[in-house]
Amino acid sequence: MVPIAEMADLGDLLGECERFATELHDRPRLARTWAFLGHHHWWFGGHERAADYCRRALGVASAQGDRALQISTTMYLGLAFLAQGAYRAAERLFRALVGSEGSGLTRERFGVAIVGVSSRAYLAMVLAEIGDLAEGAAVADDAVRLAEPMRHPFALAHAYVGAASVALAADDHDRAIRLFEWYQAELARMGAGEAWPLADWYAGLAYVRAGRVERGLALLEPIRDPARAVTGGLSRSLVGAWVAEAHLAAGHPVEALTFAESARALAHEHGERGYEAAALLVLADVTARRDLAAASEHYTAARKIAAELGMRPLAARCARAEAALVGP
């Protein structure tokens, strides 16, 4: 059900699984159910509950020596931390996964994730957020190297997203675009279609920041499709901020304001503090054209969150924008 995105129905099914496993005192199956419930709640933006379920699953998996369950659940917990903006906690978990390759398990599939690639991609994303760009680039390059011979669309998509995250944080938009062209060429050679819309959305942001706004908007706009209305995880609030940035660059201030306000509200509701900071920065950019005082407040709020979370690239963007707002 995960590959076909029937996530709402999956929640009901997992609830039944949890009930049966509890009644049967079947701890191994209960732990697996908790792990999937953790992923499910992350998907819908319930990151605290996601982390709680994952911790429960890890406790049982560790006690029983279930290495496969430990690896998959560690991935899910790291995703919850990443969404919350707990970057150092996420970094530790993804590093542990990268270091677990000696077990031989990281080439197996857990659901839709190929851990050897995805753990590096997510680690690169975390390193991009906190500004460790040299290491992030090396980790992302490793993900690309591993993904290419796998000829698996989802592995390639993860590798691209990890590498694009670092390139965007380094303001190397042309590299993010070149990587997207590589990714599309690899998919075409396999006869595969879109593997993961997040890859297109990262590319969309790269095109916008490279000045190719029309192309960027075309890649970002599908987030409006109700079928893509994932409310939490790696998608809705952050990409909403990117769509706002794209509309601002395209000279559509009304649309930009709508998306920026929605992204900020959704991120705040779900406790996605890093994504909230990103949305506040775009909201400040939008309001700077009509209300300097409000813009200053938004920049300050974004910079404060960025400082608390260690988001050095975002903090630097805030500082540059504030300096431009004040003028010489």
What the block records as the tokens of 287 is 């309001």
What CA–CA distance (Å, rounded) separates 295 from 289?
Answer: 8
Query: Quick one: pLDDT at residue 223?
Result: 82
What CA–CA distance (Å, rounded) separates 286 from 258?
Answer: 10
Query: Quick one: pLDDT at residue 197?
Result: 87
In the chain the first and final C-alpha atoms are separated, in Å, by 56
Query: Which residue shows structure tokens 């599908």?
Result: 222
Residues contacting residue 80 through CB under 8 Å, at least 6 positions apart: 38, 41, 42, 47, 50, 51, 54
Query: Quick one: pLDDT at residue 1?
Result: 41
What CA–CA distance (Å, rounded) separates 97 from 92?
Answer: 9
Residues contacting residue 212 through CB under 8 Å, at least 6 positions apart: 177
Burial class of residue 323, CB neighbours in 10 A (0-12, 13-18, 19+)? exposed
The per-residue pLDDT string of the chain (328 residues; one tens digit each, 9 = 90 and over) reads: 444 355 667 888 899 999 999 999 999 999 999 999 999 999 889 999 999 999 999 999 999 999 999 999 999 999 999 999 999 999 999 999 998 864 444 444 443 348 899 999 999 999 999 999 999 999 999 999 999 998 899 999 999 999 999 999 999 999 999 999 999 999 999 988 777 888 999 999 999 999 999 999 999 988 877 666 555 555 689 999 999 999 999 999 999 999 999 999 999 999 999 999 999 999 999 999 899 999 999 999 999 999 999 999 999 999 999 888 876 6
Burial class of residue 12, CB neighbours in 10 A (0-12, 13-18, 19+)? exposed
**C-beta of residue 274 within 8 angstroms of C-beta of residue 85:** yes
Query: Quick one: pLDDT at residue 112?
Result: 37
Residues contacting residue 248 through CB under 8 Å, at least 6 positions apart: 256, 282, 285, 286
What CA–CA distance (Å, rounded) separates 271 from 268?
Answer: 5
Query: Quick one: pLDDT at residue 103?
Result: 44
